[in-house]
Structure formats: structure tokens, C-alpha cells
Copies of this chain bind each other. A is one copy, B any other.
Amino acid sequence: MTQTDPRPSRAAEPVFLEEVRQLVTEPMHDALDRLDEHTRRLCGYHLGLWDADGRPGTGSGKGIRPALALLSARAAGASAERGVPAAVACELVHNFSLVHDDVMDGDLERRHQPTVWARFGTSSAILAGDALLALANEVLAEAPTATAGWAIRCLNATTRRLIAGQQADLAFEDRDDVGLEECQAMAGDKTGALLGCAASLGAVLVDAPSALALGLAEYGQHLGLAFQIVDDLLGIWGASARTGKPVWSDLRSQKKSLPVVAALTSDTAAGRRFRALYCGEAALTEDRLEEAATLVEEAGGRRWAERRVAEESAAAMEIVAALGLPTPVRRDLTDLTQLLIERDC
């Protein structure tokens, strides 16, 4: 089964992302085909493989984690193909977490479509998420290599971090004293961990030297933190038509995202005004959202976040430079890093 790419072309998108889709799409379909019909339908709907009525879908996510997993196999001198089980497993774990997070966060839309729970109910969405996690482990256990067991240990240690990050994220909702350090730790768990896992899992599968696997994991974690902060910036200032989320969506839901926490902890006049607006008893009314966004910016939350993106992506690129990778792999990792940092959705 092949899939034409339905997304608008982006000038910066590296060529190899299309190759990633070519390699991963069929194994993703094969994995889903193991599920009972209803669960399969929901999982494929979430992944954008088909719509709610089973017609060809509008395409899946960006494919960042599969791309990292295939690059990590190539970084170890193996073919991209040998990283495919890692790529599929990471993409499945990522989507497991999205499906469940949407339930927990009550999010109604993702990629301009109703979320799984909003369309098919909470129970079915919980089961669809469960199924994606089970499939991830099954696919990885089938990888024809002696290191599959290690890969599975990495994947589930990562899943524990995703869970810890989401628990922290939920706990932050009820707290007004969230610090910038714990907030970054949460982002490291929620996003950095899986990007680090993806960036090393292909290498683990092909039995790369541990220094390489660990270096790639560290690269992925820096990239992941940068990626999350970009996400947080887009969650406040992103163009709705590109992100698929309403403008100021993260402020509307009073999320403790990183720019928000940077503003809340800024010890500035704007930060204090923002705190009064954001952490009061009353819900933030629609007409105060723009004011809140402006206050985050005046309190330095946006500037802080942009600086952290620059720092984390620089740290990521330093590691890539130090690993002595083959030139094409290094180029592709560089392109991917830039794409993720400079994205607008």
C-alpha cells in the first residue's frame, strides 16, 4: 500500500522525509491490520490514513520520529530499512500518547479533524491508544535482531517518561507556583524522551556502539526540548490555519506552557499583571486572550523561549558534529533539526 502525500509542500522539507514515508507507511498499515475492525478503524482515523467513513485520509503527522529512527540506523552505518521497526514503534508510541492526551485534555480537534474521543467516544479512544502501545511493542519484538530486547527496554522506559510528563502537566494545571526548572523537566519527559528514543532506537536495533547510541539519544533529547518550546510558542502565537488549533489555544486552556511559566516567574510588572489575569479564580474570558498573549511577551516569556530554542538546537547540532557521522546522515540530521525549529505548524 502506498500513500500520496496530501500535505502542502514546504520549501524547507528535506527530500528524505518523503523516503521515510515510503518506508514506514506500509508497515504502519500492516501493524493496524492486526487489530479488531473497530479499533483498527479508530487508529487509522487518528493517523490520518482514512477519514471517519473509511475514505482515504488527509495524511498522517509530520513523521519526525520515524525519520529520526531511520537516520539513527543510517548513522550506525546500516541501511534505513533496518531501522523500520524502530521507526514504526516510535510513531505508534507517539500516537498512543496523542490519543490518550486528547482524552485527558478534552481537546476536540487535531489536524483540523475531531479527535478520536470527540468522534468515537472516550472508551473507544482509550482502547485505541492502548492498542497503539501494544502494537509498538509487538512490532519491535518482531525485529529480526538480537538487540530487539534492548530496544523494547528503551521504548518502555521512554513510555514511562511520557506518562510522568503528562502527570506533571496535569498537576501543573492546578498549581500557580510552577517553576521554570520543573516545567522544562516536564517538557523533557513529554517530548524530549521520545525524540531521544527515536534518534537512538534505530542504532540500538542494528547493534551500534553504545557511545553512538547514547550520543544520538542526547541529540534527540535536546532537539525534543527545542521542538516542544517551538510547539509552545506556536500554541500562543501560531497561525491557526497552519497549526490546526485555534489562535491562543494554549492560553484559552490556561496551560502552563514554557513561555507562560517564564512570564509567570519573570518578576516583572507585566509578569505580575499576567499572573493576576491568568491565575485568578475566574476563567480567562475570550476578550482577554489577546491581552494575556501581549503580557507574556512583555514579561519576556517569548524572548526566553526563543533563546532556549536556540540553545537547545545548538546543543543538538554540536553533538551531531562531534559524532563523526557519514556526511549524508549529518546533512539529513541538520536539515531535520532546522525544519523542526523553523516550522510554523
Query: Chain A interface (Cβ within 8 Å of chain B)?
Result: 34-36, 38-39, 96, 100, 103-104, 122-124, 126-127, 129-131, 133-135, 137-138, 141-142, 148-150, 152-153, 155-157, 159-160, 163-164, 166-168, 170-171
Cα-based distance from A35 to B122 in the complex (angstroms): 25
How far is A166 from B104 in the complex, measured between Cα atoms in Å?
20
- Find out whether the CB atom of B100 lies under 8 angstroms from the CB atom of A163: no
Residues of chain B lying within 8 A (CB to CB) of residue A131? 159-160, 163
| Contact, CB under 8 Å: A167 / B126 | no
Please judge, given known A-B contacts A138-B157, A141-B152, A156-B138, whether A163 and B130 are in contact too, CB under 8 Å: yes
One of B100, B159, B166 near A134 (C-beta < 8 A) = B159
In contact, A36 and B160 (Cβ under 8 angstroms): yes
* Contact present for A34 and B124 (CB under 8 Å): no
On chain B, the residues within 8 Å of A166 by CB distance are: 127
A153 in complex: contacting residue of B138, B156, B163, B164, CB < 8 Å: B138
When distances are taken between beta carbons in the complex, the residues of chain B under 8 Å from A35 are 160, 163-164
Tell me whether A167 and B36 are in contact (CB under 8 A): yes
Smallest CB-CB A-B distances: 8 pairs: A36-B164, A138-B156, A141-B152, A104-B123, A134-B159, A134-B156, A137-B137, A141-B149
Query: A127 — which chain B residues lie within 8 A by C-beta?
Result: 100, 104, 163, 166-167
A35 to B138, CA, bound (A): 22
Give A142 to B35 CA distance when docked, in angstroms.
Answer: 26
A96, A130, A170 interface centre (most CB from chain B within 10 Å): A130
Say which residue of B36, B163, B170 sits within 8 Å of A163 (CB atoms). Answer: B36
Q: Which residues of B contact A163 (CB under 8 A)?
A: 35-36, 39, 127, 130-131, 134
- Report how many copies the assembly holds: 2
User: Considering only CB atoms, which chain B residue lies closest to A143 in the complex?
Assistant: B149
A212, chain B: closest CB distance, angstroms: 21
Please, which residues of chain B bring their CB within 8 A of the CB of A138?
152-153, 156-157, 160
Asked if A130 contacts B149 (CB within 8 A), the reply is no
Q: Establish whether residues B104 and A167, one from each chain, have CB atoms under 8 Å apart when the complex forms.
A: no
Which chain B positions have C-beta within 8 A of A152? 137-138, 141, 152
4 new A-B contacts, CB < 8 A, other than A124-B170, A137-B137, are: A35-B164, A138-B156, A138-B157, A149-B149
CA–CA, A159 to B127, complex, Å?
10
Closest CB in chain B relative to A42 CB, distance in Å? 9
Docked pose: A131 CA to B38 CA in angstroms: 24
Is B156 a contact of A137 with CB atoms below 8 Å? yes
Give the complex CA separation of A40 and B104 in angstroms.
19
Whether A167 contacts B124 in the complex (CB less than 8 A), given A35-B160, A153-B141, comes out as yes
Known: A39-B164, A164-B39. A135 touches B156 (CB 8 A): yes
